[in-house]
Amino acid sequence: MFQVVVREHFDAAHFLRNYQGKCSQLHGHRWDVEICVAGPRLDQVGMLVDFGEIKSAVKEILDKLDHQLINEVDGFKPEQLNPTAENLAFFLFLTIKDLLKLEAESAQLAWIKVYESPDSWAVYKED
């Protein structure tokens, strides 16, 4: 199985609703995001997927999050997802999966890892 990983970042603030602790207060992060595409076969050029395709899809969604209060972004408003690292990984997975036009039999979005600090991250992948 081949894997291709792209790492990007964005800066944004958030606060956790219904949480007792420091993270219930408004604070920011430099969020690092890793996107993994996996598949069993390479194309005739010898690539699983062009890095540029992944970067383009990721840029489209990260530009909407960059320098925003995530709690006010559609998908994270009250009564939607609480902007935890876990939910951000889930949200990015679903959004990027829709933006990437991958041949399902040769490549698929495998997982997304969201770092809220260099030592703390969450991963989402479909089973």
What's the number of domains the chain is made of? 1
Instruction: Write down the pTM of the prediction.
Output: 0.94
Q: Which amino acid is at 84?
A: T
How far is Cα 81 from Cα 88, in angstroms, rounded to an integer? 8
Side chain identity at 119, as an amino acid letter? D
Domain with 66 in it: what CATH number? 3.30.479.10
10 within 8 A of 31, measured Cβ to Cβ: yes
CA pair distance 103, 89, nearest whole angstrom: 22
Task: Tell me how far apart the alpha carbons of residues 47 and 90 are, in angstroms, rounded to a whole number.
Answer: 26
Range of the domain at 16: 2-124
Chain centroid to CA 89: 5
Percent of the chain with pLDDT over 70: 98
One digit per residue, pLDDT tens: the chain, 127 residues? Answer: 999 999 999 999 999 999 999 999 999 999 999 999 999 999 999 999 999 999 999 999 999 999 999 999 999 999 999 999 999 999 999 999 999 988 767 899 999 999 999 999 999 999 8
Angle between helices 85-99 and 51-65 (to 10 degrees): 130
The whole-number pLDDT of residue 106 equals 84
The per-residue pLDDT for 114 is 98
